[in-house]
C-alpha cells in the first residue's frame, strides 16, 4: 500500500464525546478568527473530511484545527469541526483543549487553578483547569456571551405542533421541552426525526442569523430538554442534543448548557446563586453558573 498523506492527531474525549485534535498550527489566512473560519469553510474542507470521515473518522466524531491566535494572551486559535461542517464554537471541545494544553505540555501548569485563553470565531474563550499532583482534575468553561434569539417559536412537526426557543451560545440551537411530546428519553428515533424536521423548517425561514456576523446562521442542532427533580438542585434537566446531520451528543453538551441557561433565567426558573445541573444520556453531568 502506498501512503500518500500522513497527519498526526491526538484523540481525546469529554465524558464520552470525542474530540480529534490536529496539534500542528495551521497558518490560515485572516486577521480575525471569523476571517479564518470563512477561509476554512471555503478552502479547508478536504482537511476536515480527511480527519472526520471514514475510514479514519466516524459519524460521531468532532475535531479541531489549531491556528495562530488573534487576541493578546491567547495560546492559539481554534477551528472546530464535525462530519459535516466547521463549527464556530464547541463546549466539550474547549474542555478537551484546556486539558490537553496541560497534559501535552503546551503550557506549564501550577498546582491549583490555571487560566488558559484561546480564540474561536465568535470570541475569546477563558478556560480554567484545576491541577492536583500534575493531573487535571476539573475544568471550567467560560463561554462567549449567550442570549435568547427568539422565544416560543411555533413549528409543525409529524408529532404535532410544538413551541421552541432559539438561543445563541457560540452557535444557534433550537431548544424544546420534551414534555410537549410526552416523551421519556431515550427515544432517539423520535428525536432524530424531529431534529431533521425542525432544522429544515427553521433554516428555511432565513431569520436565524447573528446580526454582526452573518456567516453564523441557521441552527446547528436541537436540544431536547427533559426537566428532572434532583435533591439539592433548584434546576436540573437532561439534554439530548442532536447536531451534525443526526449525531447524538454523548456528553451533556457545553453548547446546550450555555444556550439553555439564559432561557431558564429569563423564565425565572433559576437565578445567579441557584445550584443547577445538566445531565447527558450517558449520565455524565455539567454544572452551570451565571457569570454576569
Q: Using one digit for the tens of pLDDT, what is the confidence trace for 235-250?
A: 676 778 888 778 877 6
Q: Is the pLDDT of residue 292 over 70?
A: no
Sign of CA dihedral 49, 53, 55, 57: positive
What residue ranges define each of the domains in the chain, with the CATH number in brackets? 10-142 (3.10.310.10), 147-286 (3.10.310.10)
The CA distance from 40 to 36, in Å, is: 6
pLDDT for the residue 4: 79
Which residues are annotated as catalytic? 90
Is residue 69 within 8 A of residue 77, CB to CB? The reply is: yes
Q: What are the pLDDT digits (tens) for 149-180?
A: 899 999 999 989 999 999 898 889 999 888 88
Nearby residues of 177 by Cβ (< 8 Å), 6 or more positions away:
225, 226, 227
pLDDT at site 185? 56
List pLDDT tens digits, range 263-273. Answer: 555 554 444 44
**Given pLDDT bands bounded at 50, 70 and 90, which one contains residue 181?**
confident
Q: How far apart are the first and last CA of the chain?
A: 56
Element at 256 (helix H, strand E)? helix 254-266
Strands (E), the chain: 10-14, 17-26, 63-67, 77-81, 86-87, 112-120, 123-132, 135-142, 147-157, 160-168, 172-177, 209-210, 213-217, 219-228, 235-243, 247-248, 276-279, 285-286
Give 182-234 pLDDT, tens digit per residue.
Answer: 766 557 888 889 999 999 999 999 999 998 899 999 998 898 888 777 776 66
Give per-residue pLDDT as tens, 36-79: 999 999 999 999 999 999 999 988 899 999 999 999 999 999 99
Average pLDDT for residues 95-115, to the nearest whole number?
95
| Close Cβ partners of 116 (under 8 Å, ≥ 6 residues apart) | 75, 97, 98, 101, 107, 126, 127, 128, 129
Query: How far apart, in whole angstroms, are the C-alpha atoms of residue 98 and residue 139?
Result: 7
**Phi, psi torsion values for 13, nearest 5 degrees:** -150, 155
pLDDT digit string (tens) for 124-155? 999 999 999 989 998 888 878 888 889 999 99
Amino acid at each position: 500500500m502506498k501512503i500518500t498523506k500522513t497527519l498526526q492527531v491526538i484523540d481525546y474525549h469529554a465524558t464520552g464525546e470525542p474530540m480529534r485534535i490536529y496539534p500542528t498550527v495551521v497558518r490560515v489566512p485572516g486577521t480575525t478568527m471569523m476571517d479564518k473560519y470563512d477561509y476554512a469553510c471555503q478552502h479547508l474542507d478536504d482537511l476536515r473530511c480527511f480527519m472526520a470521515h471514514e475510514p479514519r473518522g466516524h459519524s460521531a466524531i468532532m475535531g479541531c484545527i489549531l491556528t495562530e491566535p488573534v487576541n493578546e494572551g491567547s495560546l492559539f486559535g481554534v477551528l472546530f469541526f464535525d462530519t459535516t461542517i466547521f463549527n464556530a464554537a464547541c463546549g466539550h471541545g474547549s474542555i478537551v483543549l484546556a486539558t490537553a494544553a496541560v497534559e501535552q505540555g503546551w503550557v506549564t501548569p501550577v498546582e491549583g487553578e490555571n487560566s488558559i485563553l484561546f480564540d474561536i470565531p465568535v470570541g475569546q474563550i477563558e478556560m480554567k483547569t484545576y491541577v492536583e499532583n500534575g493531573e487535571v482534575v476539573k475544568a471550567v468553561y467560560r463561554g462567549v456571551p449567550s442570549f435568547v434569539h427568539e422565544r416560543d417559536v411555533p413549528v409543525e412537526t409529524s408529532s404535532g405542533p410544538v413551541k421552541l426557543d432559539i438561543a445563541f451560545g457560540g452557535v444557534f440551537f433550537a431548544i424544546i421541552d420534551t414534555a410537549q411530546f410526552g416523551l421519556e428519553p431515550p427515544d432517539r428515533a423520535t428525536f432524530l426525526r424531529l431534529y431533521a424536521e425542525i432544522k429544515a423548517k427553521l433554516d428555511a425561514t432565513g431569520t436565524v442569523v447573528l446580526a454582526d456576523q452573518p456567516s453564523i446562521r441557521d441552527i446547528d442542532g436541537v436540544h431536547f430538554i427533559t426537566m428532572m427533580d434532583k435533591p439539592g438542585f433548584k434546576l436540573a434537566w437532561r439534554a439530548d442534543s442532536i447536531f451534525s446531520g443526526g449525531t447524538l451528543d454523548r456528553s451533556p453538551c457545553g453548547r446546550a448548557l450555555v444556550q439553555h441557561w439564559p432561557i431558564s433565567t429569563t423564565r425565572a426558573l433559576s437565578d445567579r446563586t441557584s445550584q443547577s445541573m445538566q445531565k447527558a444520556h450517558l449520565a455524565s453531568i455539567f454544572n452551570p453558573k451565571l457569570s454576569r
